[in-house]
C-alpha cells in the first residue's frame, strides 16, 4: 500500500505524540525536531498529539511542560493542543482535534466496534490469574506466550462473566501472517508469521491501548510520515495489521536510534541520582545537608538505588554537594543556561548530518536540508563537552544587548533573587562584566552567588591562592606590605571615596598601588576581590566592587581583615 498525502496539507504531515509521563527527554525532543523539520521544510504540517490514554502515568502538568519545552526549542505546531506562547502567539488548535487522546474515546470505540462487528476483534474475559496460567503453560512447553482467539463464548457465558464482575478487554485477531516493515531509516525487516499475538486494543477501563489509538489517530489526522523511537519498531507490525484491517492508509515509517551517554549507557533520568549518590558516598554523608531533602526522603532514597529524588530535591542536594547534575531533559538544559538554538543544532547532529563539514546551523537550515536518507541507524553518543563548546561559541558571538536580554529572561525564570537584589544598572553591569567568561546564560548567576549573600554570611575560602594573596602564613617576598596590609590601607581609602564608580575606585587604587605596591595593581586588586567575594575568582574587580555596593564592600572587607588577621 502506498502512502498518500493528507487531504488538508500540500506536503507531508508529521506528528510528535508524547505520552505525558514526565519531562521531555532530549531523545523525545530530537524526534520532535526531526518530525517538525521534515514536514516544515516541505510545505507540510506538524501536529502534536498528547497520548494520555494511560491514566496512571499521565498528568496535565506534564503535557503543559512538554508544550513549553517544545515551544522554547522553536518547535511550533500547526495543529495540536492550544498554547499561548510567551510572545503572545496562539499555537495549536485545528480541525482534527481533540489532540488529547483521552478526549477521543468515542472515536476509538467506533472503530473498535467496527472491528468487532466484522469479526476482526473480539472481547476476551480472562482474569489475570487465567492469563498467568496460560503464560506458565507456554513456558512449560518452552514457547513464547502469544494469546490467540480461544473460541466464541455463548450469551449465557458472557452474562455469567458480567455477573461475576469481570470486565473484558478487546483483542485484535491478528491472523498468523508474516509482516514486512518498511523503514526509511533502518531498511526492511520481516516478522515471520505467528510473531504477532492477538494483542489488546481496548483495555478493561474502556481506554484504547497505544497501538489502537495511534493507528486511528494517524489516519484521522492525515499523518503521512511517522518518525519515532526505535523501541517502537516491532510495534509497527501491529500497527500495519490494524491499518489493513481498518482499510487505513499506511504512513511512511522511520525509527530513530536512541541517544546514549559517551560511556554507552542509556541517557536516563536516573543519571542524576547516580551522580548524587556518588558524591554522598565520597563525602561519607549519613544525613541530608540542611535545606535539601527531608529525612524521610533521604532514608528512602539512600536505602534503594531505584528510588529517585524529585527534581527540586535533586537540584538542592546537587547545589549543597557542589556537583553538577547531568542534564537529561530539555528543561534541565534550559535551567543550566543552554540556548535553545544551540540545543536544536546539537540534537540534530546526534543522529543526522548535513554532510560536508557543516556542523553549525539553525532550525531554518535544518528544515531546508533534513531528510531521512542521512539519519543514522546506530545510537548517537551525547557529547556534553562539545555541546558546551557550541554554547560558549554562541554566547561569545552574541551582541551584548541580546546576551543581557536573554540572561534577564533566564533570571526571571530561574534566578529571580538576582533581579530582586540588583537594580537595573547593576544587573546590566553584571551582564557586561560576565559575558566574556560565560559559557551558559546561567553562568553570570551561578558564578556570582556572593552578590546575594548578606555581608555577614560571606565565607572566605581558606585555600592556597587566598592565603598567598593575603600573605597568610608567609612573609611577603619583598619584605614590604602583605596583601592583608594593602587591604587594610585601601579599605580606608575606599571608605573615603565620595563617588562609587569603577573609574573612581580604579584611580584611587592605582594611585595607592603606585605608591605602596610597586605599581602592581594585582597586589591590591586580588585582596580586594577576596574581601568582597570570598575567593580569588570574580568578574573584573572594579565592576565587582560596584556590583557589591560601597556599604557592603566596606563591611565585607572589614570582616575579611578580621578573618585573615586571626589566621596570620
**Alpha-carbon distance 262 to 23, whole Å?**
22
226 grid coordinates: 511517522
| DSSP code of residue 185 | T
Whether the Cβ atoms of residue 429 and residue 407 lie closer than 8 Å to each other: no
Sheet containing strand 121-124, strands side by side: 121-124, 169-172, 200-202
Residue number, 351 or 534, with CB nearest to ligand GLU: 351
Cβ at position 351, least distance to ligand GLU in Å: 16
Query: Nearest distance from residue 203's CB to ligand GLU, in Å?
Result: 15
Buried b (16+ CB within 10 A) or exposed e, 86-96: eeeeebbebeb
* Rg, C-alpha atoms of the chain: 31
Provide, rounded to whole angstroms, the least separation between the CB of residue 235 and ligand GLU.
8
Where do we find the cell 528510588?
A: 307
Q: Show contacts with ligand GLU in window 196-225 (CB under 6 A).
A: 214
Helix, strand or coil, per DSSP, at residue 129: helix
Please give the Cα distance from 395 to 388 (Å, whole number). 10
Cβ proximity to ligand GLU, 40 vs 439, nearer residue: 40
- Residue in 38, 42, 96, 99 with CA at minimum distance from that of residue 253: 38
Q: How far apart are CA 252 and CA 15, in angstroms?
A: 12
Q: Which residue is nearest to ligand GLU (CB)?
A: 228
Which string of DSSP letters, residue by residue, matches 15-82?
A: EE----SSS-BHHHHHHHHHHHHHHHTTT-EEEE-B----TTT--HHHHHHHHHHHHHTT---SBEEE
What is the nearest approach in angstroms of ligand GLU to the Cβ of residue 11?
19
Q: Considering only 142-150, 173-181, 226-234, 288-296, which stretch makes contact with ligand GLU by CB under 6 A?
A: 226-234
Shortest distance, position 236 Cβ to ligand GLU, whole Å: 9
The distance of closest approach from Cβ of residue 39 to ligand GLU in the complex, given in angstroms and rounded to an integer, is 14
In the bound complex, what is the minimum distance in angstroms from residue 18's beta carbon to ligand GLU? 5
Q: Which is nearer to ligand GLU, 228 or 439 (CB)?
A: 228
What are the φ/ψ torsions at residue 297 (nearest 5 degrees)? -60, -40
Query: What x/- string results for residues 46 through 75 when contact with ligand GLU is judged by CB under 6 A?
Result: -----x------------------------
Of the two residues 21 and 461, which places its CB atom closer to ligand GLU in the complex? 21
- Choice between 19 and 538, CB closer to ligand GLU: 19
Binding part of the chain for ligand GLU, among 14-22, 40-48, 316-324, 368-376 by CB under 6 A, reads 14-22
The residues near 170 (Cβ < 8 Å, ≥ 6 apart) are 112, 115, 116, 121, 122, 123, 124, 200, 201, 202
Q: Are 123 and 167 in contact (CB under 8 A)?
A: no
Least distance in Å: CB of 32 to ligand GLU? Answer: 10
| Residue among 17 and 221 whose Cβ is closer to ligand GLU | 17
Question: Among residues 6, 12, 14, 18, which is the contact residue for ligand GLU, using CB under 6 A?
Answer: 18
Q: How far is the CB of 279 from ligand GLU (least distance, A)?
A: 32
Cα 437 to Cα 451: distance, rounded to the nearest angstrom: 17
Sign of CA dihedral 92, 105, 250, 28: positive
Rounded to a whole number of angstroms, the minimum distance from the CB of residue 34 to ligand GLU is: 12
> Per CB under 6 A, does 40 bind ligand GLU?
no
> Min. distance of Cβ 81 from ligand GLU in angstroms?
14
- Is 232 among the residues that bind ligand GLU (CB under 6 A)? yes
Q: Which one of 227-235, 244-252, 416-424, 494-502 is the stretch in contact with ligand GLU (CB under 6 A)?
A: 227-235
Considering beta carbons, is residue 51 or 442 the nearer one to ligand GLU?
51
Size of the site for ligand GLU (CB under 6 A): 8
Q: In angstroms, rounded to a whole number, what is the distance separating the alpha carbons of residues 164 and 498?
A: 89
Tell me the C-alpha distance between 437 and 445, whole Å: 12
Among 13, 17, 431, 530, interactor with ligand GLU by CB under 6 A? 17
Task: Answer whether 441's CB lies under 8 Å from 407's CB.
Answer: yes
Nearer to ligand GLU, 258 or 447 (CB): 258
Residue whose C-alpha cell is 597586589: 523
- For helices 541-548 and 502-516, angle between their N-to-C axes, nearest 10 degrees: 130
In the numeric block, the cell 580606608 is attached to 492
Nearer to ligand GLU, 31 or 482 (CB): 31
Of 53 and 391, the one with the shorter C-beta distance to ligand GLU is 53
Q: Which three cell numbers stand for residue 282?
A: 565520597
**Segment contacting ligand GLU (CB under 6 A): 16-24, 92-100, 292-300, 478-486?**
16-24
The smaller minimum CB distance to ligand GLU, of residues 18 and 471, is found at: 18
What does the binding site for ligand GLU look like in residue numbers (CB under 6 A)?
17-19, 51, 214, 228-229, 232
Amino acid at each position: 500500500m502506498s502512502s498518500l498525502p493528507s487531504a488538508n496539507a500540500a506536503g507531508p504531515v508529521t506528528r510528535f505524540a508524547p505520552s505525558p509521563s514526565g519531562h521531555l527527554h532530549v531523545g523525545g525532543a530530537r524526534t520532535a525536531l526531526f518530525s517538525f523539520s521534515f514536514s516544515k521544510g516541505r510545505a507540510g504540517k506538524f501536529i502534536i498529539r498528547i497520548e494520555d490514554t494511560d491514566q496512571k502515568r499521565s498528568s496535565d502538568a506534564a503535557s503543559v511542560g512538554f508544550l513549553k519545552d517544545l515551544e522554547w526549542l522553536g518547535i511550533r505546531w500547526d495543529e495540536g493542543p492550544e498554547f499561548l506562547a510567551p510572545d503572545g502567539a496562539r499555537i495549536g488548535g485545528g480541525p482534527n482535534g481533540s489532540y488529547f487522546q483521552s478526549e477521543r474515546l468515542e472515536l476509538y470505540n467506533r472503530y473498535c466496534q467496527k472491528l468487532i462487528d466484522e469479526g476482526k476483534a473480539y472481547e476476551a474475559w480472562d482474569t489475570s490469574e487465567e492469563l498467568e496460567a496460560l503464560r506458565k503453560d507456554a513456558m512449560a512447553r518452552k514457547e513464547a506466550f502469544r494469546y490467540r482467539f480461544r473460541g466464541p463464548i455463548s450469551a449465557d457465558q458472557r452474562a455469567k462473566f458480567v455477573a461475576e464482575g469481570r470486565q473484558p478487554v478487546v483483542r485484535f485477531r491478528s491472523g498468523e501472517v508474516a509482516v514486512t516493515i518498511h523503514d526509511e531509516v533502518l531498511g526492511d525487516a520481516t516478522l515471520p508469521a505467528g510473531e504477532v499475538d492477538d494483542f489488546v486494543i481496548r483495555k478493561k477501563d474502556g481506554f484504547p491501548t497505544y497501538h489502537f489509538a495511534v493507528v486511528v489517530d494517524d489516519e484521522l489526522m492525515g499523518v503521512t510520515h511517522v518518525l519515532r523511537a526505535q523501541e517502537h519498531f516491532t510495534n509497527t507490525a501491529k500497527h500495519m495489521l490494524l491499518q489493513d484491517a481498518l482499510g487505513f492508509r499506511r504512513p511512511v515509517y522511520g525509527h530513530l536510534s536512541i541517544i546514549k551517554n559517551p560511556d554507552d549507557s542509556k541517557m536516563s533520568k536516573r543519571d542524576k541520582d547516580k551522580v548524587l549518590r556518588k558524591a554522598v558516598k565520597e563525602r561519607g554523608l549519613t544525613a541530608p545537608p540542611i535545606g535539601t531533602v527531608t529525612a524521610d526522603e533521604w532514608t528512602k532514597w539512600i536505602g534503594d538505588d531505584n528510588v529517585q529524588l524529585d527534581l527540586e530535591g535533586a537540584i538542592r542536594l546537587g547545589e549543597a554537594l557542589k556537583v553538577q547534575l547531568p542534564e537529561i531533559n530539555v528543561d534541565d538544559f534550559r535551567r543550566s543556561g543552554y540556548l535553545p538554538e544551540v540545543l536544536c543544532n546539537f540534537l540534530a547532529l546526534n543522529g543526522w548530518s548535513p554532510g560536508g563539514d557543516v556542523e553549525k546551523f539553525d532550525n531554518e537550515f535544518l528544515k531546508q536540508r533534513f531528510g531521512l536518507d542521512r539519519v543514522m541507524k546506530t545510537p548517537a553518543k551525547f557529547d556534553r563537552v562539545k555541546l558546551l563548546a557550541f554554547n560558549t561559541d554562541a554566547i561569545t558571538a552574541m551582541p551584548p544587548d541580546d546576551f543581557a536580554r536573554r540572561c534577564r529572561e533566564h533570571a526571571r525564570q530561574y534566578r529571580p533573587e538576582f533581579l530582586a537584589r540588583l537594580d537595573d544598572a547593576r544587573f546590566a553591569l553584571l551582564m557586561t562584566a560576565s559575558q566574556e567568561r560565560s559559557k551558559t546564560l546561567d553562568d553570570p548567576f551561578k558564578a556570582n552567588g556572593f552578590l546575594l549573600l548578606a555581608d555577614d554570611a560571606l565565607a572566605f575560602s581558606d585555600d592556597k591562592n587566598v592565603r598567598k594573596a593575603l600573605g597568610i602564613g608567609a612573609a611577603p617576598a619583598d619584605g614590604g606590605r602583605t596583601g592583608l596590609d594593602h587591604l587594610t590601607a585601601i579599605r580606608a581609602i575606599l571608605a573615603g571615596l565620595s563617588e562609587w564608580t569603577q573609574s573612581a575606585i580604579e584611580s584611587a587604587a592605582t594611585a595607592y598601588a603606585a605608591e605602596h605596591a610597586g605599581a602592581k595593581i594585582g597586589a591590591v586588586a586580588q585582596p580586594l576581590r577576596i574581601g568582597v567575594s570570598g575567593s580569588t575568582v570574580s568578574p573584573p574587580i572594579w565592576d565587582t566592587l560596584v556590583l557589591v555596593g560601597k556599604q557592603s564592600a566596606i563591611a565585607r572587607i572589614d570582616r575579611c581583615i578580621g578573618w585573615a588577621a586571626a589566621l596570620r
